[in-house]
Structure 1
Amino acid sequence: MEEGFTLPILYKGQERDFAATLITTGYTHKFHVDIDGVGIYFEPDEERNYRAILDEEAIAKQLKPNVDLVRLIGLKIEELFKK
């Protein structure tokens, strides 16, 4: 099951919207976020914090995400969805 939504992030004084998808499988879930053309998965780790993982296409193309945006998006996901 996949559900799309927009994730608003304040970055360098500007509000930016990022396309995100919630992917649920079995008892777990992860989010896929497109960060300026670089796909990142955010999935919960053993301590229920979200870790960021490049998607297969970004790895194949050797794309590098904006690390500051990855950090901010991870914090926003934790703020919104961590219980």
Structure 2
Amino acid sequence: MADDFILTVTYRGTASDYAAELRVRGFSYHIAVWVAQTDVMFEPDEERNYRAIVPHNGNVPVELLQAIAEELEKQFKE
């Protein structure tokens, strides 16, 4: 199952929209977010905080990844 959505993130005072996709795999899931021409995966850790998995060729600022993770936590909080 995959669900596409737009994630709006404010970074350095500017709101930007990012294409995202919720990917459910059995009892777990991850969220793919298209950032700076890179498919970044976010998955919940044991404390239900999101961690980013960035490919080696990805060039995404850490502060932007943190902003995206914070927005995901707001959107998917139970």
Question: TM-score when scaled to structure 2?
Answer: 0.89
Of 45, 52, 64, the match for 1:69: 64
Deviation at 1:31, TM superposition (A): 0.3
Contact in 2 for aligned 1:42/1:50 (Cα 8 Å): yes
Aligned residue-pair number: 78
Question: TM-score when scaled to structure 1?
Answer: 0.85
**Percent of residue pairs bearing the same amino acid type:** 37
Q: Which residue of 1 aligns with 2:34?
A: 34
Root-mean-square deviation (CA, aligned residues, Å) is: 1.2
Unpaired runs of at least 5, structure 2 = none
Unpaired runs of at least 5, structure 1 = none
Structure 1 residue runs of 4 or more that deviate by more than 6 Å after TM superposition: none
Aligned partner of residue 20 in structure 2, secondary structure: strand
Tell me which amino acid in the other structure corresponds to 1:71.
Q
> Where do 1:48-59 residues align within 5 Å?
48-54=48-54, 58-59=55-56
Q: Which residue of 2 aligns with 1:45?
A: 45
Deviation at 1:50, TM superposition (A): 1.1
